[in-house]
Structure 1
Amino acid sequence: MAMLAQPAGPFALGTFSAPGGKPFPGLLTGNRVLDLSGALDWAPADVRAVVERWEENLPLLHTLAEDDALGRQPLADLRVHAPIEPRQIFQSGANYRQHVIDLEVAHRSPDDPRTVEEARAEIATAMDRRAAEDLPYVFIGLPTTIAGPYDDVVLPSWAAKPDWELELAAVIARPAHRVPVEEALEYVAGYTIANDLTDRATVFRRDMPAIGTDWLRCKNAPGFTPLGPWLVPAASIADPGDLRVTLKLNGETMQDESTKDMLFGVARLVSYVSRAAQLLPGDLVLTGSPAGNGIHWGRLLREGDVMEGSITGLGTQRTRCVAEGAS
């Protein structure tokens, strides 16, 4: 395995496996991994089990990270899987100012009498109103979309316009229901990277436009959410509202934006979701994708493409696109 980008802070969590072995929860320090299923007395089966007892485990994890006497495995000898298996995925849409402007302009009707400048100004005004009224746009994804950070991405044969959407993902630490914004970050265990792939051709229902969007169809193909590589504790990320989100396609930078451009930050999103649903330990709250998607560039994903996504302090994921049925 090539050298992987190191996360911020003294340690990170991940899911690993040795050749021919079963996945295990691991503590990453430097380029070595401690198997937490053996290092913790209660033998957690996976990272979600560690997160479910987050307040209790966090001091123990710090202690383990500082203990050089414990046996660790070289990261280079292990396969890296998605860091956690969530029960629920909450996805924020239209949450980056520049991204929304670009999408709205790209999807304008040919009969729209406005100039591009007029359209952009009106859209910006509408977003300011959304932010002031505290109305994020959140929908639900399926856990079966989760894939590893270095796994191949299978492009379904029916997906005519598959697109990338690199995002900051918050990992929930404890049950959260009707949480005030001021307390919401206390419910976040840490952060990871998600690439929330979308088939642009099936976002909207053409058979009955009044139905609107079809998120099941366009976003929930198996493996459409490469996740990780690491779960980085929240304390290691100074400000989730000031991170750089960068995606390269075949080495060319396509997305490169700060989370400062988000309309709704992590605290507001977690609070908003908790007003309608109960968040559970290990759940993901995806915070939306910045400008620079394929629909903006007029260049959608195709077989052989390699995506490299990174976020400040969270490492880098690298995935290759393959056609459905390809060997």
Structure 2
Amino acid sequence: MGYRWTIALVATALCGACHATPGDSKLPIDTPVRWTPQALSTDQYESSPTLSPDGRELFFFRADRQFDNYRLLYSRCEKDQWFAPVEPPFAASPGVLEADPAFSPDGQRLYYVSARDRPDDLDIWKVERNSDGQWGQPQRLPEPINSPQTELLPRELADGRLLFGSNRPGGPGGRDLYVATQQAGDGWEVKPLPAPINTAGDEYEADLSRDGRVMVVVANRGERSHLYLFDRDDKDNHNGWRERGRVPARDDVFQVGPLLSPDGKRLLFAQADGERSGELFLAELQPDSDAAWPPVCK
């Protein structure tokens, strides 16, 4: 399966002594800092965070030290602290791979990928909140959103479209980024994103800022996958995107699971952290970012 690979962990992390407190007003512009709340941090690999709109629920997935055997987890902010994470009530039976959670903009839906129907093949699933605020029964999304190949990191956009990665045929590379648009009735149209976002290489995870002007992309352009930033280019009427460059993160390990702040100026993501295996890191992308994101647990 394309989403699995073995990672070589490095004992010393870049800025390994740095740790961000949620709500920090100032962060280094060129060095991400570790952000994982203490209750979530383990010697395993925490990845792909998503926050509810009110900032009081945090879903993510935890993998083993080889970045395999991943399971969905969630935590709640209560009494000024994040509580020890547990599996959500809709999680599949033990041993089934589930990962890449993402809240809808209104917080009423959660998307994620699961192999509950097809072992070792991750498809996109959705679960909605009931009128009492509890989660209902998960539903597998239809074709052509899902395919016989692997789908990754679904993101519902502000306009209702769905952004995700897949290694299906039809794109310019081995894995590419796609957008699904709902048509009249229940049908969907799925198209690969244009260049320069998709290339002949591997692009397989992405997040888009709320205003649609900043995109962060996980791309493999060499030995490892790293994070790349793109800005909306209004002067380019054909493709409409301009690459800004790499997010300042470690060269010797991969980065995954990007989550942009609503203003597109801060970024949460996962990377290796020495003997701690993998943690969530916070990067400042512009100096005038929203210092209140991620929100303080209180």
TM-score computed with the length of structure 1 as normaliser = 0.25
TM-score computed with the length of structure 2 as normaliser = 0.27
Q: Which has the higher helix share?
A: 1
Q: Highest CA radius of gyration, 1 or 2?
A: 1
Higher relative CO (Cα under 8 Å, sequence separation at least 6) belongs to 1
